[in-house]
Amino acid sequence: GAVVSQHPSWVICKSGTSVKIECRSLDFQATTMFWYRQFPKQSLMLMATSNEGSKATYEQGVEKDKFLINHASLTLSTLTVTSAHPEDSSFYICSAGLAGLYEQYFGPGTRLTVT
Amino acid sequence: DQQVKQNSPSLSVQEGRISILNCDYTNSMFDYFLWYKKYPAEGPTFLISISSIKDKNEDGRFTVFLNKSAKHLSLHIVPSQPGDSAVYFCAASDKGTYKYIFGTGTRLKVLA
C-alpha cells in the first residue's frame, strides 16, 4: 500500500501555544486527506476532510477556527491546533486517498500533549 | 449517535482457535466496509475490506462476512496467533462521501 508519514510523531506544548502537524503522502498524489483524533481507549473520530486546493470540511462539533487544516499540495496537508489546551491532548492521525476511491492510507499518528 | 458499533469491547481466544469479531451499523447508505488492526500510539493497519455487493471476502487467515439485511459484519481470524493481539476496528464508508466511520473497537487477546 501507499506510504503516509506524519511529523512530528510526538509533541509536548504549553497551554495557549499553537502546534502544527504535517501529513505527507510519500509515493502518490493524494487528492483527499482526512484528519482523525483518538482519545485513550476510544474510537478514531473523523475531524475533517480536505481536498487539495479547497477548504476543509469539518465534522459536526469540530471547531474549524481551532483546528486549521491546509491542503496546499497533493502530497502535504497540515493540521494546526491553535491556542492548545490540555483537553486537546490526543492522538492525531491523518490518512490520504484519491477522489472517488474508498481506500485510505493511514499515517503513523502524532501524540500531542498539552501541559 | 454511534452509526458503527462493536458491542464486545474485549475478546480472549486460545492460540490456534478461531477469533470472531462483530460489528453492527445503522446507516443503510454504507456500501463499503473495512477492518483495521491497531496498536496504541500507532496508525491503523488495514486488514481486509468488503463491498456491499458481496457477502464474503477472504484473504489468508482473515475472512469478512457481510449481512446487509441485518446490517452486520464480522471478521473471522483462523487460526488465531499471539501476534494478532491488538485492538480491531471496523469502519464503514459510503459512495457519497468516502469518509470512514469507525466502530468502537474490540481488544483481542490471543493466549499462547
Question: Among all chains, which residue has been given the C-alpha cell 468502537?
Answer: B104
pLDDT (0 to 100) of residue A100: 82
Distance from CA of B72 to the nearest CA of A (A): 18
Q: How many domains does chain B have?
A: 1
Per-residue pLDDT, averaged over A1-14, amounts to 93
Q: Is the residue at B73 inside a domain?
A: yes
Tell me the pLDDT band of A98, cut-offs 50, 70 and 90.
confident
pLDDT (0 to 100) of residue B21: 98
Distance of CA B23 to the CA centre of its chain: 6
Name which of B71, B87, B56, B67 is nearest B26 in CA terms. B71
pLDDT (0 to 100) of residue B61: 98
Q: Is the residue at B94 inside a domain?
A: yes
Would you call A107 an interface residue with chain B, using a CB distance cutoff of 8 Å?
yes
Q: Is the residue at B53 inside a domain?
A: yes
pLDDT (0 to 100) of residue A72: 82
- pLDDT 10s digits, A30-63: 989 999 999 988 999 999 999 888 889 999 999 9
Question: Among all chains, which residue has been given the C-alpha cell 443503510?
Answer: B28
Q: Is the residue at B13 inside a domain?
A: yes
The residue range of the domain holding B64 is: 4-103
Find the residue in A nearest to B39 (Cα): A108
Query: Chain B residues with CB-CB distance to A under 8 A?
Result: 32, 34, 36, 41-46, 49, 89, 93, 97-105
pLDDT (0 to 100) of residue B2: 82
Pick the residue of B42, B51, B53, B90 with the most A CBs within 10 A to test the interface with A by mutation: B42
How far apart, in whole angstroms, are the C-alpha atoms of residue B57 and residue B63? Answer: 6
SS3 percent helix, strand, coil of chain A, rounded to 5, is: 5, 55, 45
Looking up residue B16, the CATH number of its domain turns out to be 2.60.40.10
Q: Is the residue at B50 inside a domain?
A: yes
How far apart, in whole angstroms, are the C-alpha atoms of residue B93 and residue B98? Answer: 5
Q: Is the residue at B108 inside a domain?
A: no
B107 or A31, greater pLDDT? B107
Tell me the pLDDT band of A114, cut-offs 50, 70 and 90.
very high
Q: Is the residue at B112 inside a domain?
A: no
Distance from CA of A82 to the nearest CA of B (A): 22
Mean model confidence pLDDT for chain A: 93
Q: Is the residue at B110 inside a domain?
A: no
The listed range with the strongest mean pLDDT (A63-72, B51-60, B91-100) is: B51-60
Q: Quick check: A1 pLDDT over 80?
A: no
**Would you say B31 and B12 are in contact if contact means Cβ atoms under 8 Å apart?**
no
Q: Quick check: B109 pLDDT over 90?
A: yes
**Would you say B32 and B46 are in contact if contact means Cβ atoms under 8 Å apart?**
no
Q: Quick check: B1 pLDDT over 80?
A: no
pLDDT (0 to 100) of residue A41: 85
**Would you say A10 and B75 are in contact if contact means Cβ atoms under 8 Å apart?**
no
pLDDT (0 to 100) of residue B54: 97
How far apart, in whole angstroms, are the C-alpha atoms of residue B27 and residue A66? Answer: 30
Residues from chain B that touch A49, judged by Cβ atoms under 8 A, are 97, 99
- pLDDT 10s digits, B47-89: 999 999 999 999 999 999 999 999 999 999 999 999 999 999 9
Per-residue pLDDT, averaged over A95-108, amounts to 90
A2-29: burial string, b at 16+ Cβ within 10 Å, e else: eebebeeeebebeeeeebebbbbbeebe
Interface contact A106-B43, CB threshold 8 A: yes
